[in-house]
Amino acid sequence: MPETVINLIIIVLVLAVLGAIVGYIIREKKRGSKCIGCPYARECAARREGGCSGQGK
Protein backbone atom coordinates (compact mmCIF):
# COMPACT_ATOMS: atom_id res chain seq x y z
CA MET A 1 0.00 0.00 0.00
CA PRO A 2 2.68 2.62 0.85
CA GLU A 3 4.51 1.86 -2.41
CA THR A 4 1.35 2.62 -4.35
CA VAL A 5 0.96 5.98 -2.63
CA ILE A 6 4.60 6.88 -3.30
CA ASN A 7 4.28 5.88 -6.95
CA LEU A 8 1.11 7.94 -7.28
CA ILE A 9 2.80 11.00 -5.77
CA ILE A 10 5.76 10.61 -8.15
CA ILE A 11 3.45 10.27 -11.16
CA VAL A 12 1.49 13.38 -10.13
CA LEU A 13 4.71 15.39 -9.69
CA VAL A 14 6.07 14.31 -13.08
CA LEU A 15 2.77 15.20 -14.77
CA ALA A 16 2.74 18.59 -13.04
CA VAL A 17 6.27 19.37 -14.25
CA LEU A 18 5.45 18.26 -17.79
CA GLY A 19 2.27 20.34 -17.73
CA ALA A 20 4.22 23.40 -16.60
CA ILE A 21 6.77 22.92 -19.39
CA VAL A 22 4.11 22.52 -22.07
CA GLY A 23 2.24 25.55 -20.72
CA TYR A 24 5.40 27.65 -20.86
CA ILE A 25 6.10 26.61 -24.45
CA ILE A 26 2.53 27.41 -25.51
CA ARG A 27 2.65 30.85 -23.85
CA GLU A 28 5.97 31.73 -25.47
CA LYS A 29 4.77 30.63 -28.90
CA LYS A 30 1.67 32.81 -28.52
CA ARG A 31 3.93 35.77 -27.65
CA GLY A 32 5.79 35.27 -30.92
CA SER A 33 9.04 33.65 -29.82
CA LYS A 34 10.50 31.54 -32.61
CA CYS A 35 13.14 29.78 -30.53
CA ILE A 36 12.28 29.63 -26.87
CA GLY A 37 15.73 28.89 -25.47
CA CYS A 38 17.37 31.89 -27.12
CA PRO A 39 17.72 35.09 -25.04
CA TYR A 40 17.04 37.17 -28.19
CA ALA A 41 14.01 35.10 -29.27
CA ARG A 42 11.46 37.92 -29.24
CA GLU A 43 13.77 40.37 -30.98
CA CYS A 44 14.71 37.91 -33.72
CA ALA A 45 11.13 36.83 -34.29
CA ALA A 46 10.06 40.46 -34.73
CA ARG A 47 12.99 41.27 -37.00
CA ARG A 48 13.19 38.39 -39.44
CA GLU A 49 11.56 35.17 -40.44
CA GLY A 50 13.23 31.77 -40.17
CA GLY A 51 14.36 31.54 -36.57
CA CYS A 52 16.93 33.07 -34.29
CA SER A 53 20.68 32.56 -34.32
CA GLY A 54 21.39 34.88 -31.38
CA GLN A 55 24.08 36.66 -33.40
CA GLY A 56 21.95 39.60 -34.46
CA LYS A 57 22.92 41.84 -31.52
Mean pLDDT, rounded, of the chain: 80
Q: Could you tell me if 33 and 40 are in contact, meaning their C-beta atoms sit under 8 angstroms apart?
A: no
CA distances from 18 to 3, 28, 33, 41, 55 (A): 23, 16, 20, 22, 30
Where would I find the H helices in 1-57? 2-31, 41-47
Cα–Cα distance between 46 and 52 in angstroms, integer?
Answer: 10
At residue 47 the predicted structure's pLDDT band, cuts being 50, 70 and 90, is low
More confident residue, 21 or 54: 21
Asked if the model's pLDDT at residue 39 lies above 90, the reply is: no
Cα–Cα distance between 10 and 55 in angstroms, integer?
Answer: 41
